[in-house]
């Protein structure tokens, strides 16, 4: 019986292919992103379709789109990959105190990389994601230190110690040539569930304004590219607005609330994490 179930195990490589096709919209682009051949990725998809008993992708005008069965497979694939990443991160846990595990909101990733030297990053395992996932990583024990955005009224978790925090004023941003037709819904570049999404939506709904999600991605850098392309508007910390975008001062845009940038750590942490925490505390104002 054990051998039977073992033969039906689905490799994580196939899960990555499913997610890549969904993200890029085609097998060809997914193969390029993953660095494997198109026949290889096609073979992987055929394999999982045999396992689940149906097609998970169908051709569309824009490339490959998920079928109803494919949407279910995609959801599980993302969960499997997330669990795989979290298991890999355990190598930096209590059994191996030579590696410090830091969870970093992707908004702050570039700034931190600029502040840390190669020597300081040598024994660090860095996990970047949206703020909600960083908090989850802290509470679940997958990371020891976190730098992320939090709403001001969020109650502290007893398993997490707030080391330092400060307000991080945000602003609407847009491409230099972006225009909005009178009466049109506000096109948002966002990812539901993130702090910045909550701030945008709350501000618009308080003012009774109509909006639509024009671009949705958990990838912060992808949202920046969408803003540069003039697809819509988004909200960023004012001090982190890239030179390729401008602050949107249009009269119709409501003021968003001010979140907090927090440096936090698990109550239980090793010597390596303590050393990293001291470094981050001394440079927190520059991140």
Same fold, 2-87 and 96-167+260-286: no
Query: What is the per-residue pLDDT for 93?
Result: 45
Query: What is the per-residue pLDDT for 209?
Result: 94
Instruction: Give the separation between CA 169 and CA 150, rounded to whole angstroms.
Output: 12
Residue 31 has which token pair?
């193969």
Write phi, then psi, for 262 (nearest 5 degrees): -125, 140
Query: What is the per-residue pLDDT for 57?
Result: 92
Domain 96-167+260-286 falls under CATH 3.40.190.10 = yes
Residues β-bridged to residue 212:
187
Query: What is the per-residue pLDDT for 88?
Result: 61
- Convert the pLDDT of each residue in 81-96 to its tens digit: 877 776 665 544 444 4
The answer to whether the beta carbons of residues 171 and 236 sit under 8 Å apart is yes
Please report, for residues 16, 74, 199, 257, 285, the alpha-carbon distance to residue 11 in angstroms, rounded to integers and kept in the order given.
9, 14, 39, 44, 43
Instruction: Give the separation between CA 215 and CA 244, rounded to whole angstroms.
Output: 18
Residue 263 has which token pair?
């440096």
Q: Would residue 63 be called left, alpha or beta, if left means φ above 0 and alpha means ψ between -120 and 50 degrees?
A: left
Question: What pTM was computed for the model?
Answer: 0.65
Instruction: Give the separation between CA 185 and CA 159, rounded to whole angstroms.
Output: 41
Query: What is the per-residue pLDDT for 218?
Result: 84
Regions of the chain short of the pLDDT cut 50: 1-7, 91-96
Query: What is the per-residue pLDDT for 98?
Result: 58
Query: What is the per-residue pLDDT for 242?
Result: 93
In words, the CATH class of domain 2-87 is mainly alpha
Query: What is the per-residue pLDDT for 181?
Result: 86
Alpha helices in 130-270 (DSSP H): 131-140, 195-206, 220-228
Please report, for residues 51, 125, 149, 197, 201, the alpha-carbon distance to residue 194 in angstroms, rounded to integers and kept in the order given.
34, 23, 9, 5, 11
Query: What is the per-residue pLDDT for 95?
Result: 42
Query: What is the per-residue pLDDT for 244?
Result: 94
Strand positions, DSSP E, the chain: 57-60, 63-66, 100-105, 124-129, 145-150, 160-167, 170-174, 186-190, 211-216, 234-237, 246-247, 260-266
Query: What is the per-residue pLDDT for 3?
Result: 43
Cβ neighbour number for residue 219 with a 10 Å cutoff: 13
Residue 183 has which token pair?
């009466």
- Convert the pLDDT of each residue in 153-196 to its tens digit: 777 788 889 999 999 999 999 999 999 888 899 999 998 888 89
Strands 160-167 and 260-266: antiparallel
Q: What is the DSSP string of 119-148?
A: TTTTTEEEEEE-HHHHHHHHHHTS-SEEEE
Residue 22 has which token pair?
């969904």
Domain boundaries, the chain: 2-87, 96-167+260-286, 170-247
Q: Topology of domain 170-247, per CATH?
A: D-Maltodextrin-Binding Protein; domain 2 (3.40.190)
């Amino acid at each position: 019986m054990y051998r039977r179930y073992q033969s039906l195990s689905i490799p994580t490589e196939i899960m990555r292919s499913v997610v890549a096709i969904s993200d890029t919209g085609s097998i060809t682009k997914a193969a390029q992103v993953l660095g494997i051949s198109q026949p290889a990725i096609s073979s992987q998809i055929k394999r999982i379709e045999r396992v689940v008993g149906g097609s998970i992708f169908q051709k569309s005008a824009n490339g490959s789109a998920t079928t109803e069965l494919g949407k279910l497979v995609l959801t599980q694939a993302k969960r499997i990959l997330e669990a795989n990443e979290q298991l890999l991160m355990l190598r930096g846990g209590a059994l191996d105190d030579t590696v410090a595990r830091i969870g970093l909101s992707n908004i702050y990733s570039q700034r931190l990389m600029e502040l840390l030297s190669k020597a300081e990053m040598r024994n660090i395992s860095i996990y970047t994601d949206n703020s909600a996932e960083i908090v989850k990583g802290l509470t679940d024990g997958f990371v020891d230190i976190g730098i992320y955005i939090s709403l001001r009224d969020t109650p502290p978790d007893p398993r997490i110690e707030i080391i330092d925090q400060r307000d991080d004023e945000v602003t609407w941003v847009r491409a230099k040539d972006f225009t909005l037709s009178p009466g049109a819904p506000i096109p948002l570049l966002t990812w539901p569930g993130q702090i910045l999404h909550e701030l945008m939506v709350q501000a618009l709904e308080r003012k009774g304004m109509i909006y639509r999600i024009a671009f949705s991605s958990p990838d912060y850098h992808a949202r920046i590219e969408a803003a540069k392309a003039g697809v819509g508007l988004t909200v960023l910390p004012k001090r982190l607005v890239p030179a390729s975008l401008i602050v949107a001062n249009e009269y119709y845009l409501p003021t968003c609330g001010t979140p907090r940038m927090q440096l936090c750590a698990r109550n239980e942490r090793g010597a390596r994490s303590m050393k990293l925490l001291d470094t981050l505390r001394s440079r927190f104002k520059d991140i």
